[in-house]
Structure 1
């Protein structure tokens, strides 16, 4: 009897642990055969386990095309389970849109499925992936248990590509990072924009080139004006049916660039820049204050150098 009681306690403990690390992933239909998992508009934390990212998948004739794999081994495993609840088709390909950790650290869960990305993204994951993973361990704790970095081995290139019987337009851009891949599914008219587009959340800028990013947004907005366009899946935030998230992301970046340049020309130091208030337009955006502080650290030194060069 005591042995049975111990077994029951162990089983209950296992269930509690499983529930504790449940991302609660629910596939949101975007269009016929196209789904997204929508993350929270938050910073990484032990409460959300890194579930702050949008991932997705396309049910193609020849199998499932996965777009980004999430922030941990657990996320990737739960994503696979959620995909299987939608379709029994085999996995055909996993695409990483760029090399930030919440978009590729679930790759390990897709063993046996080809992993693909732009060449510079593959290089970024290989060179910076372990440091990213270590940082997420610090930020999210045991959600990351067992997670190891797996870099894609298949290099993608811009242009039209038929993958698993589905015609995709691969749009190679940069600006958020050195290599940002947007994916346009021609059958459904859905644009997966990766982290080039944020919706209802302040953008992140650790590897940003703002001029390139703004140019990339112009290209993506042109896609939304095409006759077949139906939906935009941003890297963070809700799915949209128009280009409003692109315009919101552009407005933030233009303000941020202008604020850094103006502060540098005025001779402010970094502490003074950090103390500047956010415009009313952005003050209510989730994580705006924290992303602004991080962006000052990322971008203000270059603005200072630019202002110094202009003065000389």
Structure 2
């Protein structure tokens, strides 16, 4: 039977999940225009790199990578960014790069830095797993509130828009650009990776982070590590992570798995030793994490995310005594 959370545990878990996007103090706002700078990975494939920061009023929430692919039928996007304004800038960029309208938009998961740009696109072009759509329904309004607090006026006019198409395991072919969806879980209960059969590029979403500490508000650490092992077994020419640089090789999957193993061990040991949350947050991290952006910041938030899970799974249920 699934453990029953106490009211305190439920409130803490909800608060820590929302804190993913509104813990950082707001910075001074820049002019409200997203200057998207696409990097060409190969012919017909571009990525706009997200900032290696937490969401704030300087970056307008643009911290996630977004991909643009060209096809004979039109532009294909992977994720839409954090706001209506970002989505509009992304649509304009996609049309500029490809000379065609947007025909498909895939969402890799339900976190707000990846899906609040939906509003700029025809909902009929938006596609996601059913789990992602369910997550958007469950958390969308709360995410909207936290994004407005964290990113400020960048979010003006942004509303939640749900996809009309449900992604299954069947590949989609857009006039020679064949994309294979790969449903996984771990970062959230429903994550989507996409494999471009034309180029061999694997778009991993937030299952893979590189040189930026992973976020864990909805994470199942063990399931995530299994998904990373599965990703590693897929032959590819390059991996595009949800956050961090796109590159060939296994550095992204290895580093993400190593991070998850490290924080699970440190936090689990702290819990077993009876340390409170503030004591667990103060524990040292391995030396290798010094080169990882936001390592201390995300570790402390992971303590907030994972402690309630440990309480729910390891503490005895008072209703079974």
Establish whether TM, by shorter chain, passes 0.5.
yes
Task: Give the corresponding residue for 1:148.
Answer: 159
User: Unpaired segments of 5 or more residues in structure 2?
Assistant: 1-29, 317-321
Mean alpha-carbon deviation: is it higher for 181-190 or for 103-112?
A: 103-112
Task: Give the corresponding residue for 1:67.
Answer: 78
Alignment match of 1:237 (pick from 238, 244, 251):
244
Task: Give the corresponding residue for 2:305.
Answer: 298
Structure 1 pair 163–119 and aligned structure 2 pair: CA distance change class (3 A): farther
Question: What's the CA shift string for 1:188-222, capped at 9, x where partnerless?
Answer: 11110000000100000000000110000001111
Q: Shift in Å at residue 159 of structure 1?
A: 4.0
Question: What's the CA shift string for 1:230-269, capped at 9, x where partnerless?
Answer: 2111000111111101100000000111112211222212
Contact 1:261 / 1:304 at 8 angstroms: preserved in 2?
no
Task: Give the corresponding residue for 1:191.
Answer: 202
Helix, strand or coil at the partner of 1:25? coil
> For residues 139 and 65 of structure 2, what CA distance do their matches in structure 1 show?
21
1:101 aligns with 2:112: yes
Question: What's the CA shift string for 1:120-171, capped at 9, x where partnerless?
Answer: 1011112211211111100010000110110101001124332454211110
Structure 1 pair 26–165 and aligned structure 2 pair: CA distance change class (3 A): same
> For residues 88 and 129 of structure 1, what CA distance do their matches in structure 2 show?
32
Task: Give the corresponding residue for 1:254.
Answer: 261
Helix, strand or coil at the partner of 1:193? strand
Helix, strand or coil at the partner of 2:206? strand
Alignment match of 1:213 (pick from 209, 212, 224):
224
1:267 aligns with 2:289: no
> For residues 223 and 182 of structure 2, what CA distance do their matches in structure 1 show?
14
> For residues 244 and 112 of structure 1, what CA distance do their matches in structure 2 show?
35
Contact 1:92 / 1:164 at 8 angstroms: preserved in 2?
no
1:178 aligns with 2:159: no
TM-score by length of 2: 0.86
Q: Displaced runs of 4+ in structure 1, greater than 6 A?
A: none
Q: Shift in Å at residue 111 of structure 1?
A: 2.9
1:157 aligns with 2:171: no
The alignment's C-alpha RMSD in Å is 1.6
Task: Give the corresponding residue for 1:28.
Answer: 39
Which structure's CA Rg is the greater one?
1
> For residues 270 and 301 of structure 1, what CA distance do their matches in structure 2 show?
10
Higher RCO by CA contacts (8 Å cutoff, separation 6 or greater)? 2
Contact 2:123 / 2:162 at 8 angstroms: preserved in 1?
no
Structure 1 pair 113–64 and aligned structure 2 pair: CA distance change class (3 A): farther
> For residues 140 and 240 of structure 2, what CA distance do their matches in structure 1 show?
24
Q: Shift in Å at residue 98 of structure 1?
A: 0.3
How many pairs are equivalent?
A: 288
Helix, strand or coil at the partner of 1:104? helix
> For residues 297 and 248 of structure 1, what CA distance do their matches in structure 2 show?
22
Helix, strand or coil at the partner of 1:98? coil
Q: Shift in Å at residue 21 of structure 1?
A: 1.2
Question: What's the CA shift string for 1:37-56, capped at 9, x where partnerless?
Answer: 10110000001101111001
Helix, strand or coil at the partner of 1:42? coil
Q: Report 1:17-96 matches (<5 A).
A: 20-96=31-107
Question: What's the CA shift string for 1:1-40, capped at 9, x where partnerless?
Answer: xxxxxxxxxxxxxxxxxx8112210121112211111011
> For residues 97 and 156 of structure 1, what CA distance do their matches in structure 2 show?
10
